[in-house]
Amino acid sequence: MSQPINFHPVESFKERGRSVVNDPAQRKNFRSAMDFLQGKRRAQFPERQELEGLRDLASAIRRYSLAQLPTLLEQLERNLTANGIQVHWAENAEDANAIALDIARRVQARKIIKGKSMVSEEVDFNHRMQEAGIEALESDMGEYIVQLAGEAPSHIIMPAIHKTKQQIAQLFSEKVPGVPYSEDVDTLIQVGRQVLRRKFAEADIGLSGVNFAVAETGSLCLVENEGNGRMCTTVPKVHIAITGIEKVVAKLEHVPPLYSVLTRSATGQAVTTYFNIITRPRQPGEKDGPEEVHLILLDNGRTQAYADAQLRATLQCIRCGACMNHCPVYARIGGHAYGTTYPGPIGAIISPHLRGLDQTYPLAFASTLCGACTEVCPVRIPITELLVRLRNEAQARPDSEDATLRGSGAGRTKLATAVWRGWSLVYSRLGLYRMTSWSMSRGRALSPIDQGAWTRSRTPLVPAPKRLRDLLRKRRK
Amino acid sequence: MRARERILGRLRATALPHPPEPPEVASWYAGRQRNETRPQQIERLRSALEAARAEVHDARDAAWPAIVKGLAEAKGVRRLLAGSGSPDAARLAQALPAGIELVCFDRPIDDWRDELFDTIDAGLSRAKGAIAETGSLILWPDAHEPRTVSLVPPIHFVLVDVGTLHPDFHTAMQAGRWAENLPTNALLVSGPSKTADIQQTLAYGAHGPRELIVLLIDEEGAGK
């Protein structure tokens, strides 16, 4: 089994990104996948009015939920408990895994079958279970493929988007006993179906994520196409759901607009094959369904985002992935380069809270600030504004009041600080400014040819032979 | 309880701004009603389901058992699973030929898990309602008609009374007062199981049923 692939973006983000940019085959995969997803989404919103109206509504629902988050979480807990679903709170990844392990040990579980859950990726669930001698097997086709390959998902909705069918054919023929090489997608999916069907029947525990947790009714909603989410939450004797604390909504009637905008933004589907509302464990007389249902509510840094009036908007996210599908940076470097569980624009704004800005600040700079992500975000998160804010946090003096996050100031370098200090000095004194600009235009021949990152793919910057003020003076004469 | 108190404490420590006005969900849905006639709604349901590659058949109530029988024979079904003690199962039992065994879900899944996974070719259930806009069937499993009937067998037959059709999800939820009476598990099913996880290529029959066969029961002939 694989090693965790989360790594330190500060150390190797640029290097990883560059290696993808230099690989034409991978670039083509990502480009065509992004074009496909963008086209599908566009087709779902033929009318601008419907799209903008739905975005307004979805955003209002999410902001309404977050404004009362602690109250709603308590209401959710109360109603889930009354329904017979056990609620657990986890401050961090370690807590979450310990809670799951406790349950697994109590029911003497050996095998866990998993529906798609990015939060379980966030806490590195599979490896922690493996260390404790428990098998944790992914059953979403894309997740199954990346697990088999010893990798992590490169996209939050389509985990194996970086792989071609030839690579998957190769992988299956090597890793699944008795499977010959075939590039036929139907055949490959049927291989997955056959392998995993057995696993659903044998598993002791099913693990799933949650798309929406409804406080009013004490219900967990899951969105999916394959049916593995239903299998994991219906067939094993125990179901454990894990989710971030931000996923709660106040009322059941808030779910239809969010569900609609989620599927249309994510994969350009009007609706998914399955929408699954779980409200209770198996009741007396019922013949299937898990006997125990648990919900693990994970913080893992989300309360830091919540504490800041501007950054709180990060938690509006419903994880549709539209921001990465439309991001020119993601389209060129793919998800793995980010080195975080959540890649793309949402990854750049959520990861600093989960892992600390010191570990993740380069991601906020991996953006052209073109605003495509903000334009498509179904819940109107001002992603570009948040990216700029995080850039400022990364450069803030750690002891100043501008530094409010874990790891603020980590991006400061002596050189950059000195340059900005010099710039500010020059631009705030007229005489000094005139002298500097005069000497730069006179000394332009001395401009360095190598200007670091700038000249890697551009011609060097050279000051103009005549300053603007000189030209204007000449014209006036 | 320490993690709980700490998390809630951190959330509470942040002065909450005035909760914004509740979102106006109902009025948004009211504003986009198409006010379609029943036949138009039926057509919308049918075309959405067919676009998702479900098979849709029209049936008068008296005729559906014979239609299911014909389809089951044509698809080579040998064991067909239905709920226990339901009138649907009883009527189907009379229609099925000797070559097709009707299996009733009359014991807990734990007693026959492998048999369910390995030997059942099709399941039959009845939808509580349907949603025209997205071509979704509302399933409301209970003690008689368990959740796995619509999940584990490779073919899923669903009976839908066109009288239970709603224009959209929100309207269906409000009309049925779902917030007050959700079952253990409620579902929307909008086609056969599918995936596009390999190179964005759509493939059917990922983990749930490969085929979804919908019988639209239209006793009044409203769709005609």
Report pLDDT digits (tens) over A113-165: 999 999 999 999 999 999 999 999 999 999 999 999 999 999 999 999 999 99
Spatial separation of the C-alpha atoms in residues A43 and A59, rounded to whole Å: 21
The pLDDT value recorded for residue B221 is 62
Mean pLDDT for the stretch of residues B55-73:
97
pLDDT in tens, B151-191: 999 999 999 999 999 999 999 999 999 999 999 999 999 99
Asked if residue A470 has pLDDT above 50, the reply is yes
B148 DSSP assignment: G
Asked if B208 lies within 8 A of A226 by C-beta distance, the reply is yes
Determine, yes or no, domain membership for B193. Answer: yes
Chain B interface mutation, best of A88, A225, A242, A262, highest count of B Cβ atoms under 10 Å: A225
List of chain B residues whose C-beta atoms are within 8 Å of the C-beta of residue A251 = 25, 179
- How far is the alpha carbon of B4 from chain A, nearest alpha carbon, in Å? 5
In a domain, B12, yes or no: no
Residue A477: what pLDDT? 77
Does residue B1 sit within a domain? no
User: What is the mean pLDDT of the segment spanning B56-84?
Assistant: 97
Residue with tokens 């008795």: A178
CA distance A325 to A312: 23
Q: Which residues contact B204 (CB under 8 A, 6 or more apart)?
A: A186, B53, B192, B193, B194, B210
Q: CB contacts < 8 Å between A and B, how many? A: 254
- The closest CB to that of B28, out of A53, A145, A276, belongs to A53
Please judge whether A283 and B195 are an interchain contact, meaning their C-beta atoms are less than 8 angstroms apart. no
Cβ contact A232:A115 at 8 Å: yes
A388-433 pLDDT per residue, tens: 999 999 999 988 998 999 999 999 999 989 999 999 999 999 999 9
pLDDT tens string A221-255: 999 999 999 999 999 999 999 999 999 999 999 99
Three-class HEC string of chain A = CCCCCCCCHHHHHHHHHHHHHCCHHHHHHHHHHHHHHHHHHHHHCCCHHHHHHHHHHHHHHHHHHHHCHHHHHHHHHHHHHHHCEEEEEECCHHHHHHHHHHHHHHCCCCEEEECCCHHHHHCCHHHHHHHCCCEEEECCHHHHHHHHCCCCCCCCCCCCCCCCHHHHHHHHHHHCCCCCCCCCHHHHHHHHHHHHHHHHHHCCEEEECCCEEECCCCEEEEEECCCHHHHHHHCCCEEEEEEEHHHEECCHHHHHHHHHHHHHHHCCCCCCCEEEEECCCCCCCCCCCCCEEEEEEECCCHHHHHCCCCHHHHHHCCCCCHHHHCCHHHHHHCCHHHCCCCCHHHHHHHHHHHHCHHHHCHHHHCCCCCCHHHHHCCCCCCHHHHHHHHHHHHHCCCCCCCCCCCCCCCCCCHHHHHHHHHHHHHHCCHHHHHHHHHHHHHCHHHCCCCCCHHHHCCCCCCCCCCCHHHHHHHHHC
Spell out the residues 6+ positions from residue A108 whose beta carbon is closer than 8 angstroms to its own: A204
Q: Is residue B201 part of a domain?
A: yes
Count up the domains in chain B and report the number: 1
Say if residues A200 and A139 touch (Cβ distance below 8 Å). yes
Q: Given phi > 0 = left and psi -120 to 50 = alpha, else beta, which region is B107? A: beta
- Cβ-based contacts of A79 with chain B (< 8 Å): none
Q: What is the mean pLDDT of residues B51-79?
A: 97
The minimal CB distance from A189 to the residues B4, B17, B203 is found for: B203
A3 pLDDT exceeds 50? Answer: no
- Judging contacts by C-beta atoms under 8 Å, the chain B residues touching residue A244 are none
A317 has a pLDDT exceeding 70: yes
Residue B223 in any domain: the answer is no
User: Is residue B10 assigned to a domain?
Assistant: no
Angle at A386 between CA A382 and CA A388, to 5 degrees: 120
Per-residue pLDDT at B14: 85
> Domain limits at B149?
36-217
Confidence grade of residue A4 (pLDDT, cut at 50, 70, 90): very low
What is the mean predicted confidence (pLDDT) over A448-469? 91
Q: What is the mean pLDDT of chain A?
A: 95
| Residue A103 amino acid letter | I
Q: Which of A50, A164, A227 sits opposite B206 (nearest CB)?
A: A227
Q: Flag if A57 and B134 touch (Cβ within 8 Å).
A: no
Closest chain B residue to A139, measured at CA = B207
Q: Which of A273, A279, A299, A316 to mutate to test the interface with B (most CBs of B within 10 A)?
A: A273
With an 8 Å Cβ cutoff, are B185 and A225 in contact? no
What value does the mean pLDDT of chain B take?
Answer: 95
Q: What is the mean pLDDT of residues A302-311?
A: 97
**Is B13 within a domain?**
no
User: Which candidate from A36, A60, A274 shows the least CB-CB separation from B23?
Assistant: A60
Q: List the single residue in B168, B182, B205 with the smallest CB-CB distance to A219.
A: B182
Domain CATH for B50: 3.40.50.10420
> What is the identity of the amino acid at A461?
L
How close A336 gets to chain B, by Cα (Å)?
17
Q: Which residue has the higher pLDDT, A325 or B14?
A: A325
Q: Which of A57, A89, A277 sits opposite B4 (nearest CB)?
A: A89
Name, in order, each residue with C-beta under 8 angstroms of A328's C-beta and a sequence gap of 6 or more: A368, A370, A372
Q: What is the pLDDT of residue A1?
A: 38
Predicted complex ipTM: 0.97
- Pick the more confident residue, A282 or B1: A282
Distance from CA of A266 to the nearest CA of B (A): 13
The answer to whether A185 contacts B203, with C-beta atoms less than 8 Å apart, is: yes
Query: What percentage of residues in chain A have a pLDDT greater than 90?
Result: 92
- Tell me, yes or no, whether B30 lies in a domain: no
B94: distance to nearest CA of chain A, Å?
25
Query: Could you tell me which of B52, B180, B189, B47 has the C-alpha nearest to residue B129?
Result: B189
| A182 contacts A175 by C-beta, under 8 angstroms | no
pLDDT band at B15 (very low <50, low <70, confident <90, very high): low
Q: What is the pLDDT of residue A2?
A: 42
